[in-house]
C-alpha cells in the first residue's frame, strides 16, 4: 500500500529536481539541460538586483502571512462548532455544505466571486445601487481586493481543513467533558481547558506544515481574481513565473526564483519546528 505513494514522490517530486540546474545555466531548448552553458549565480544576481523581484517576493510573503494569520484559526473553530452539534442529520448536512467548496476548482469559485462583486453587474453592487444609489469597485480597490482574496480562500478550504481537527477531537475522552460539567465548567471553559489542549499537538503540526508554504500563493486564485489595477499587490511569485517563464521563455530566471522560494520554505519550516521543539510539540 505504501508503494504508490513512494512512486508518486519519486516521479513528481524527486525526478523534477534534476531540472533545478537550469537556474545555474543559460538554458535553451536546442542545447537541452545538459548542454546549456553554465553561468553560475548570474540569474540569482539578476533577481536580487531587480526592484520588481523584491516587490513580487514581498507581495507573496505579505499575502501568505495574511492568509496564515487570518485563515489558520477558521478550520479549528469550524471543527469545534461541528463537534458540538448533537443532532446527527444536521451535523452531516453542515459537513457536506462546508466541505463541498474544496472540490470546486478555482475557475468555478472565481466565477462565483466575480459574479458577486463585479462593479457593473455584480449581485452585491446591484443591491448597493438599489439601497444606496451607488456602487463600489470591490475588485479594483486594494483593501477590498485583499479582503475578497482572504475570504474566498477561507470559504473554499476551511471545511476540508476541519477534517483533520475533527479526527483529533474524536480521540478526546468524553469522560473529561462529563467531569468538567459536574465541576460546573460551561462550554467555553471546556473548550479552553479540554478541547484546545487535546488537539494542541495537531494544531502545532499543521502550523509547522503551513510555515513550509509561507511564500506559496495559489496561482489559480490570484490569476483569476487579479487585475492590472491591483497588480501592485496581486503580482506574486507564481504569476510572475507564469508571465516571465512560460510566456516570456526565461526559464533559467524563473527556475532561480523557484529555487530561492524553496530555500526560504526549508528555512521557515526548520525554524518553526525548532520553536515547537521547545514546547515538546516538534514534528521531527
Q: Tell me, what's the pLDDT at 30?
A: 83
- Whether 30 is covered by a domain: the verdict is no
Please state, in angstroms and rounded to a whole number, the distance separating the CA atoms of residues 235 and 71.
20
Q: Tell me, what's the pLDDT at 13?
A: 85
Per the structure, the complete domain to which residue 236 belongs is given by 56-277
- Residues 181-193 have pLDDT tens digits of 888 888 889 998 9
Q: Tell me, what's the pLDDT at 8?
A: 93
- Whether 202 is covered by a domain: the verdict is yes
Please state, in angstroms and rounded to a whole number, the distance separating the CA atoms of residues 226 and 134.
23
Decide: helix, strand or coil at residue 266.
helix
Please state, in angstroms and rounded to a whole number, the distance separating the CA atoms of residues 125 and 140.
13
Q: Tell me, what's the pLDDT at 148?
A: 93
- Whether 13 is covered by a domain: the verdict is no
Q: Tell me, what's the pLDDT at 274?
A: 85
- Whether 4 is covered by a domain: the verdict is no
Tally of domains in the chain: 1
Q: Tell me, what's the pLDDT at 29?
A: 81
CB 77 within 8 Å of CB 191: no
- Whether 15 is covered by a domain: the verdict is no
Other beta carbons within 10 angstroms of residue 5's beta carbon come to: 9
- Whether 190 is covered by a domain: the verdict is yes
Q: Which residue stretches of the chain have pLDDT < 70?
A: none
CA distances, 23 to each of 69, 179, 196, 255 (Å): 32, 60, 45, 5
Q: Tell me, what's the pLDDT at 246?
A: 83
- Whether 265 is covered by a domain: the verdict is yes
- Whether 44 is covered by a domain: the verdict is no
Please state, in angstroms and rounded to a whole number, the distance separating the CA atoms of residues 25 and 235.
26
Residue among 260, 216, 262, 256 nearest 239 (CA):
216
Please state, in angstroms and rounded to a whole number, the distance separating the CA atoms of residues 236 and 261.
11
Its pTM stands at: 0.85
Question: What CATH number corresponds to the domain at position 203?
Answer: 1.10.3720.10
Q: Tell me, what's the pLDDT at 132?
A: 83
- Residues 206-245 have pLDDT tens digits of 888 887 777 778 788 899 998 889 988 989 988 888 888 8
Gyration radius from the chain CA atoms:
23
Residue written as grid cell 483529533: 168
Amino acid at each position: 500500500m505504501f508503494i504508490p505513494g513512494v512512486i508518486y514522490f519519486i516521479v513528481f517530486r524527486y525526478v523534477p529536481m534534476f531540472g533545478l540546474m537550469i537556474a545555474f545555466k543559460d538554458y535553451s531548448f536546442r542545447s537541452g539541460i545538459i548542454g546549456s552553458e553554465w553561468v553560475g549565480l548570474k540569474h540569482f544576481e539578476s533577481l536580487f538586483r531587480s526592484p520588481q523581484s523584491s516587490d513580487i517576493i514581498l507581495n507573496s510573503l505579505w499575502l501568505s502571512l495574511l492568509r496564515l494569520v487570518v485563515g489558520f484559526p477558521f478550520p479549528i473553530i469550524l471543527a469545534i462548532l461541528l463537534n458540538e452539534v448533537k443532532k446527527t442529520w444536521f451535523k452531516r448536512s453542515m459537513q457536506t455544505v462546508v466541505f463541498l467548496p474544496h472540490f470546486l476548482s478555482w475557475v468555478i469559485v472565481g466565477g462565483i466571486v466575480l459574479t458577486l462583486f463585479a462593479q457593473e453587474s455584480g449581485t452585491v453592487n446591484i443591491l448597493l445601487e438599489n439601497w444606496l444609489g451607488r456602487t463600489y469597485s470591490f475588485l479594483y480597490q486594494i483593501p477590498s481586493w485583499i479582503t475578497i482574496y482572504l475570504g474566498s480562500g477561507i470559504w473554499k478550504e476551511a471545511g476540508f481543513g476541519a477534517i483533520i481537527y475533527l479526527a483529533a477531537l474524536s480521540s478526546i475522552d468524553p469522560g473529561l467533558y462529563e467531569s468538567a460539567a459536574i465541576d460546573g465548567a460551561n462550554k467555553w471553559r471546556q473548550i479552553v481547558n479540554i478541547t484546545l489542549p487535546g488537539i494542541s499537538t495537531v494544531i502545532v503540526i499543521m502550523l509547522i506544515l503551513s510555515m513550509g508554504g509561507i511564500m506559496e500563493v495559489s496561482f489559480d486564485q490570484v490569476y483569476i481574481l487579479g487585475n492590472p489595477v491591483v497588480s501592485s499587490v496581486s503580482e506574486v511569485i507564481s504569476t510572475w513565473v507564469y508571465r516571465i517563464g512560460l510566456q516570456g521563455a526565461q526559464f533559467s530566471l524563473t527556475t532561480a526564483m523557484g529555487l530561492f522560494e524553496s530555500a526560504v520554505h526549508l528555512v521557515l519550516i526548520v525554524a518553526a519546528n525548532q520553536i515547537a521543539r521547545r514546547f515538546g510539540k516538534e514534528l521531527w
